[in-house]
Structure 1
Amino acid sequence: MRLRDVWLRYTRRGPWVLRNVSVEIGPGQAAVVLGHNGAGKSTLLQLAAGVFRPDRGEVLDRPGRVGWVPERFPADQPFTVRQYLTAMGRMAGLSAATAPAAVDRWVERLGLAPYREIPLPQLSKGTAQKVGLAQALLVPPGLLVLDEPWEGLDAASRDLVPVLVAEVLADGGSVLVSDHRGETVRLPGALHWLVAEQTVRVEEPSAAGGMSVVEVVVPTARAAGTVAALRAAGHEILRVRQEADQ
């Protein structure tokens, strides 16, 4: 899949959110989308998934089957887990005979069996995210797009995400994933798409296995100086979270 000279803004006369973006990802390849809050990571992922259409440029060779998992699963829907996943499976091309088996497989694998008949609005955020993962994988995707997939998941489910990514890649699919938790260190060999100043820079993984994300905790009074020093040393600042002095 390729994004060629893509530009996007949310309103006709609004500022450009992304501009002149040209990136590509091939079969069996993963890319980690990095950047600070508000840089346009989610927008880029939604362009790749087909949720947004570019104002300029074009998206080429998008696979016919895209698995899309947003950062926050839209759980305010009048369905149980089983009803929702069955309907999504049918929409993805599964037959009335094969959809229930696919639903059962992913319900069991993601630990959703106790919630099979629970309405979506009653689920916790983490459980709802598992439902989002399940619907994206009911039919093997040619492109899997994950926006902060680890957010809200329990430890066992967090460990499962890299396994699912590896399975998609082994089947010849491509994977795009964003993450502010540092979990993507579990995806060695992935490209890095660095979103900054409305465009995207691509970095190949290093021989040592790519980028590592480190969280540094400093007193609030020292935050600005620490950020400046890290940037001066060549480090990229992905996020600054303001909390009480520590």
Structure 2
Amino acid sequence: MCSGGLSRLCEASFVRFDQVWFRYARRAQWTLRAVELSVEPGQAVVVLGRNGAGKSTLLQLAAGVLRPVRGAVRDRPAVVGWVPERFPADQPFTAEQYLRIMAAMRGASGVARWMDRLKLTEHRGTRLADLSKGTAQKVGLAQALLTPPGLLVLDEPWEGLDSGARDLVPEIVAEVTAAGGSVLISDHRGEVARLMEAACWTVAEQSVRAEVPAPGSDHVVVEVAVRRADADRTVARLRADGYDVLGTRQEDPR
């Protein structure tokens, strides 16, 4: 069972991307093409890639916020916890009112428990629009956990959080996976090091590549920036030294 507020077993289910293609307009370029991957029950997957590569799109497809243009996301569990990168705080509720409304809609309880755990109690009477970005994100995280999720989808969950709250994210991920739920989480801050057992997917050039670490490994992903002229030599040297090179990319000039 999940601890710390996730008191019921999460619904276990494979979540499968079955040849998923997506673009935002009929004549637009494809954002994602032919994605064929799955998340297993009890597995956490960190989604990596540069800004604009399609990480958020992939997560929204997983959560059911977006629908594929081609293909399908199959076996999505009935309970999905979804936390976008920026919680929509422009709503006429206080933090506690919002969470109690969401709990009532889902037949859930535990509002006070999650408010206490995420250090939201002192903000219970604050309007959502008046919260800082980090505190609003914690409200979004609390609402996603009111009902134990079979799939928890977190888009840049560390963004705006203080150090204490950042430490809670790996704890919550571990609790969901221990209960048989799955977690998809994007990261551009390098916080992936906090999720040592997670698999990694890399989004680049309209595709998604899985890079699954061995169970119990202590691998982390490190990004290295070099001059364009040195790129091939650097890649060759890293591989010769026994490092796995997950990919290369050229940043657009600012």
Residues of 2 paired with 1:72 and 1:54: CA distance? 22
Find out whether 1:212 has 2:221 as its counterpart: yes
Q: Which residue of 2 aligns with 1:119?
A: 127
The 1-side partners of 2:144 and 2:29 are apart by: 32
Residue of structure 1 equivalent to 2:107: 93
In the alignment, structure 1 residue 61 sits paired with structure 2 residue 75: yes
Q: CA deviation at 1:236?
A: 4.1
Whole-angstrom CA distance in 1 between matches of 2:125 and 2:69? 42
Change (3 A) 1:204 1:182: same
Equivalent in 166, 189, 195 of residue 187 of structure 1: 195
Structure 1 residue 150 corresponds to structure 2 residue 158: yes
The reply on whether 1:137 has 2:145 as its aligned counterpart is: yes
Q: 1:113 to 1:235 in 2, by over 3 A?
A: same
Partner deviation per Cα, 1:3-48 (whole Å, 9 max, x = no partner): 1000011011211100100110111011110111111000000000
Which segments of 5 or more consecutive residues in structure 1 lack a partner in the other structure? Answer: 217-221
The one-letter code of the counterpart of 2:156 is E
2:50 to 23, 32, 36: 36
What is the identity, as a one-letter code, of the residue corresponding to 1:26?
E
**RMSD of Structure 2 on Structure 1 (CA):** 2.2
Residue 78, structure 1, aligned to residue 86, structure 2? no
d(CA) in 1 for partners of 2:228, 2:63: 36
SS in 2 for 1:62: coil
* Cα deviation, residue 93, structure 1: 3.0
Q: Matched residue pairs, number?
A: 232
Q: Does 1:7 align with 2:18?
A: no
Q: Give the corresponding residue for 1:18.
A: 32
Q: Whole-Å Cα distance in 1 between the matches of residues 187 and 249 of structure 2?
A: 10
1:47-102 Cα shifts (integer Å, max 9, x gaps): 000000000001110010000011111111111001111111122232xxxx3xx1
Provide, for residues 129-159 of structure 1, a one-character-per-residue CA deviation record: whole Å limited to 9, x for no partner.
1101100111110000001000110000001
AA in 1 matched with 2:159:
E
Whole-angstrom CA distance in 2 between matches of 1:104 and 1:239 = 47
The aligned runs of 1:226-237 (5 Å cut-off) are: 230-231=234-235, 233=238, 234=245, 236=247
Range with bigger deviation, 67-76 or 225-234: 225-234
TM-score of the two chains, using structure 1 as the length reference: 0.87
Give the Cα–Cα distance (whole angstroms) in 1 for the partners of residues 217 and 58 of structure 2. 27
- Aligned-pair identity in percent equals 59
TM-score (norm 2): 0.84
Aligned to 2:24, the other structure's residue is in SS state coil
